[in-house]
Amino acid sequence: MKKIIMVCSILSFLFHNCTGSVKSKPLNSVSKTSIYDIPLKTIDGKDFSLATLKGKKILIVNTASFCGFTNQYAELQKLHEKYGDKVAVLGFPSNDFGGQEPENEQTIKQFCQKNYGVTFQMFSKISVKGEKMHPLYKWLSSKELNGWNDKAPSWNFSKYLINENGELIKFYSSTVKPLDPEIINAIQN
């Protein structure tokens, strides 16, 4: 049985890492700390607890208003509207890549609502890499904390999928669109 699990883990690793677009939770990984304990601030400056989302999948996305992937806001909104009963879409503006999110929270919020009709939960602007990395992104990109993944965002609109139990189960690069069948299947299953 251990050999089968090991072979499956190796095949999964090779498949997902050779394509470069998706990384999945290995079969034998264990989360070290809980994502639900990380304090957050909404784009309006209010405290937000991820614990309120227990029992629901969560798609976490680092966003930017002046990026070639900014149009993904439209698909994120459609995902929120169509699958909001199964997954909470959470947007985290960041200015870490190419200075593509220089605005303040109020301007970001207005931009998202006016141009893309965003109603999913947006958060205060944070850093998703480097020395000033927010604790949420430290958890998402540290296998010592999340149990398996060490991949941090390499650009805007990277995506992390959390399951109903608060476990990180998938990482998607910026090039994987929010309505990609792989994301939809992961949300529905």
pTM for this structure?
0.85
- Could you tell me which residue, 44 or 6, shows the higher pLDDT? 44
Q: In this model, does residue 42 exceed pLDDT 70?
A: yes
Q: Hey, what amino acid is at 58? A: I
**pLDDT bucket at 23, cuts 50 / 70 / 90:** low
C-alpha span between 148 and 169 (Å, rounded): 9
C-alpha span between 133 and 171 (Å, rounded): 18
For the chain, the domains span 25-188
C-alpha span between 161 and 136 (Å, rounded): 13
Cβ(91)–Cβ(120) under 8 Å? yes
One CATH from 3.40.30.10, 3.40.50.1980, 3.10.20.90, 1.10.132.10 for 25-188: 3.40.30.10
Give me the pLDDT at residue 89, please: 98
Query: How big is the chain, counted in residues?
Result: 189
**pLDDT bucket at 33, cuts 50 / 70 / 90:** confident
Exposed / middle / buried, residue 56 (Cβ in 10 Å: 0-12, 13-18, 19+): middle
Cβ(94)–Cβ(63) under 8 Å? yes
C-alpha span between 117 and 75 (Å, rounded): 11
- Residue 112 designated active-site: no
State the DSSP code for 25.
Answer: -
Could you give phi then psi for residue 186, rounded to 5 degrees?
Answer: -65, -35
